[in-house]
Amino acid sequence: MTDTEASSRRLIMIGCVVAGVGVAAGAFGAHMLKTILDPPMLAAYDTATRYQMYHAFGMVLVGIVMRVYDDRQLAKAGWLFATGMVLFCGSLYGIALAGLKWLGPITPVGGLTFITGWGLLGWRVWRGVSQGEKS
């Protein structure tokens, strides 16, 4: 197995696990937290679960695209998504569940990490296509 294949497999596996946790977190929020959290905190929790799912799928996508373009550098985009989930989603979970308002300034840093990951993914794919590596 090549380094690209191993890295691709790892990102796909982690993305699938994080997506499964996202489903469980969403169900927990919908069924258990609805009566506990006030509406703004429930909305923050819901935002965290949605972005967790989007970026779990993003990690899986990166793993697949790595194989299509045989580009190990794409893994950086997947790890940016993982980092963004910790920063963005983690800070929102902390705010909503534990009232840790000091995590608020971390949330936009996680958002920038997501944006950087998507930009890197698009750039690497564009470069691969424009250089005729694979189409």
Any idea where the domains of the chain sit in the sequence?
A: 3-127
Q: How many residues does the chain have?
A: 135
What integer pLDDT is reported at residue 1 of this predicted model? 83
Examine the pLDDT at 53 and tell me if it is beyond 60. Answer: yes
- For 97, counting Cβ atoms within 10 Å of its Cβ (0-12 exposed, 13-18 middle, 19+ buried), the class is middle
pLDDT digits (tens, 9 = 90+) for 65-105: 999 998 889 999 999 999 999 999 999 999 999 999 999 99
The mean pLDDT value of the chain amounts to: 94
Question: Alpha helix (H) ranges present in 1-135?
Answer: 3-28, 39-69, 75-84, 90-98, 106-130
pLDDT digits (tens, 9 = 90+) for 3-33: 999 999 999 999 999 999 999 999 999 999 9
